[in-house]
Structure 1
Amino acid sequence: MFELLFTSFPVIIRYFQLKRRGEAMTVWNMRTAVFTWAGLAFLLFFLIFYFHPKSYSGVVPFRTVSVVAQSAGPVTELNVRNGQRVAAGDLLFRIENSSQVAALMQAEAQLGTLAAASIKAEDSLKVARASVAQIQATLDEQIIDLSDAQTLLDRNVGSQDAVQKLDAAVKVSQAQLQAAQAQVHLAETDIAETIPAQIKSAEAAIASAQASLDKTEVRSFSPGLVTQLTLGVGSPASTLILSPAMMIIPDRPEGLPVRFVAGFSQVARATLYEGMPAEIACDSNANFSFRNSALPARVAFIQPAISTGQVMPGGKLLDPNNLKERGSLLVYFELEYPEHEKEVIDGAGCIIQTYTNNLSGTSGHVIAATGVIKAVGLRLKLWGALISGVGLAGGGGH
């Protein structure tokens, strides 16, 4: 509409010329003015729509966190409600945990048994060492007695039977000493290796049992707002990601700027550039005072790939004929002034109008000036959305 009005001056001038001359206005004497008007309108349309592309698909993207249980069972305690804010680590709900508690108690009892076994092994080591010392003393005495008996026998004073009995006693004591030393070694092995390994195994069993018990307590991993809570005390907790117990809309990390995304026609790739100025008008920001209704922004990033060309392995070969619908060019925008971020609602639908201002020379200034028409049109669109009450409806990028 504005383009037609701004380029209609040849027709208006010709009309007043004919009126001043007193001639009737006909198709023949208006042909030059009409063709001039059509040419100027086409040129202006081209300049405006090519160098100042617009998208109706703008949106403020945000993340959601699906909350599912890691352990199956009925819910015994529910600690949140819809619309409640939670912090990281807050308890959301508990699941019936009698089997997990029993497993933990059993593992702890096993560790206690091993602690007692360690004390017993220490006592066994002391007894075994004392036995070794006692047998060694007896053996030393028997060796001396055997030596004396052998000396007497050599002097034809002693008897052969006494020597044989003492020799047999020495051999028995030596065997007993070896057995006692083996008991010492066995006790030392139990204390140094066997029991510590068993204790580590028991501690691992306790950690595993504690982890299983912890899974019966579902906590929030990020601060945010609870929504779509479908859980109640007594209902079974779902472990399927496709059937979450609730959703959490996490708070935006501090220092992370709000970004808008929009899809533009692929032919706009030659015009769009990073740093390009833009205006963003969202349904959620429209108001009668027009305060913060059209927010200044800039292009932050242009995705270097079109989503419809994505190829993933599957059971069928890719057929390009199935991709007749052209994908859009994904563009990210950031607000020019950070204080406007608090005015934006996550998920809001927006119209995004861009303006080319990077061309030099007179033609560049003229093209940049034509952006005023698009800016006026954007505000008329806002006004119409308020009057009609249907929002910033539209379709397609231009």
Structure 2
Amino acid sequence: MLELTICSLITILPDYLFRSRVQGRKWGAEINFFTMWYELRWGITMCAMLTISLITVVFYFHPSTSNVTSFFRTLTIVSTTAGRVEEVFVRNNQFVEAGAPLFRMDSSSEDAAAETAQRQIEEIDAQLQLAQSERAAATGALEQAMAALTQTEDDLNRRETLIAEGSSAVTQREVDTLRNQRDQNQGAVDAAEADLEAVDTKIDVLLPAQRATAEAALAQAQATIEKLTIYAGVDGTVEQFTLRPGDVVNPILRPAGILVPSDAGRGRFQAGFDQVATQVVQPGTVAEMTCIGKPFTIIPMVITEVQDVIAAGQIRPTDELIDTSRRRAPGTVTVFMEPIYKGTTDLLPPGSRCLATAYTNNHDRLETEELSTLKFIGLHVVDTVGVVHAAGLRLRALLMPFNLLVFTGH
């Protein structure tokens, strides 16, 4: 409507003035509702052509969209295992810092397992002390056996010497008896050494291994107990959190609530422009935005990123071939915008719905490049007609609250 009004001022109006002032045709006589097309055919034709051209230039080089929002990701508050809630530390809509406890689940069985593992460690420590006493006893038995063996060998050597010298004070039977006693004492020494080695193995290998197993069981039980207390992973606000002691939570079927990160969706907006604007919307393109959450306000924005794929074209492998005729929506080009001036979007809550217009800027090309006259004028025209969309955006910003509050009755 605005484009048609502007174009009519330089086409239909001059034609009418020429007809009335020069040719003497009067409104209501020669120029009326039935003869208007014939009398003003040149002005009407030129107005239609100029309006269509202007609308094409404006909408192509300065695209607009009503699909602007600030998407944000939420974190689901879930437990690692299913169980019953023992204690709740926060309430709904409460701000929490990262690492703050949210709720704790019943840990009676895990506490019992930890207590059992602790008692096993204490029992093994007692067995270790007992093994030290057993080692002292085994060491004493070995020394006793070695002393008896030494005594027997000395007596045997003395009697064998006397027999070798032909003494009649020692009989061969006594020598044989001492030899048997020596072998018996040697066996006692070997047995004492084996007992001592067994005790050392028990002290150095068996009991430490059993203690390590008990410590691992205790650590596992403690880790399980720690997992039963759910903590906030990031700073944010707890939403839809109606958990109470005694409730049953499940990591798959029954989450406890939602945690909205404090920086989620802040100062970053996503807009979907028609695919025809693919060559226009580029990183660095200046845009303007208005939101219903901040009425009567135009927010200067800049496009920082452009998604290099169109979401409507994504596929997921299934057992059915995709027919392209079933894709009804052509999809839009997704761009990411940020405010030029910090703080201008702070009052907008994440998820706000907005309108935006991007503007083609040829100022640098006009200043630095050597262009032909026709191209120079064309780029000037492109930059100038952006004021039409800027005016339209401001008009929509003025009418948006009235449309919402008066005409839709919200």
TM value normalised by structure 2: 0.89
Deviation at 1:389, TM superposition (A): 2.6
The residue matched to 1:338 in structure 2 has which SS? coil
Trace 1:1-398 onto structure 2 (pairs within 5 A): 1-8=1-8, 9-20=10-21, 21-23=23-25, 24-25=30-31, 26=35, 27-157=37-167, 158-240=170-252, 243-252=254-263, 258-286=267-295, 290=296, 293-358=297-362, 360=366, 361-390=376-405
Counterpart of 1:70, as a letter, is T
Deviation at 1:239, TM superposition (A): 2.3
CA contact (8 A) 1:52 1:374 kept: yes
The residue matched to 1:244 in structure 2 has which SS? coil
Distance in 2 of aligned mates of 1:367 and 1:319 = 40
CA contact (8 A) 2:96 2:237 kept: yes
CA contact (8 A) 2:142 2:189 kept: yes
Distance in 1 of aligned mates of 2:280 and 2:406 = 28
CA deviations 1:286-305 (Å, max 9, x no partner) are 1xxx3xx2111111111111
Counterpart of 1:333, as a letter, is M
Distance in 2 of aligned mates of 1:313 and 1:132 = 77
CA contact (8 A) 1:282 1:392 kept: no
Distance 1:328 1:93, change over 3 A: same
The residue matched to 1:339 in structure 2 has which SS? coil
| Deviates further, 181-190 or 142-151 | 181-190
Q: Kindly report structure 1 stretches of 4+ aligned residues shifted beyond 6 Å.
A: none
Counterpart of 2:290, as a letter, is A
CA deviations 1:220-248 (Å, max 9, x no partner) are 122211111132222212222x5311111
Structure 1 residues without counterparts, runs of 5 or longer: 394-398
Counterpart of 2:320, as a letter, is K
Identity across aligned pairs (percent)?
32
| Deviates further, 24-33 or 10-19 | 24-33
CA contact (8 A) 1:257 1:334 kept: no
CA deviations 1:130-153 (Å, max 9, x no partner) are 322222222122111111111122
Counterpart of 1:295, as a letter, is I
The residue matched to 1:300 in structure 2 has which SS? strand
TM value normalised by structure 1: 0.91
Structure 2 residues without counterparts, runs of 5 or longer: 367-375
Distance 1:313 1:117, change over 3 A: farther
Deviation at 1:257, TM superposition (A): 6.6
* Larger Rg, first or second structure (1 or 2): 2
Distance in 2 of aligned mates of 1:108 and 1:248 = 37
The residue matched to 2:149 in structure 1 has which SS? helix
CA deviations 1:81-120 (Å, max 9, x no partner) are 1111111222212222211111110011111111122222
Deviation at 1:36, TM superposition (A): 1.0
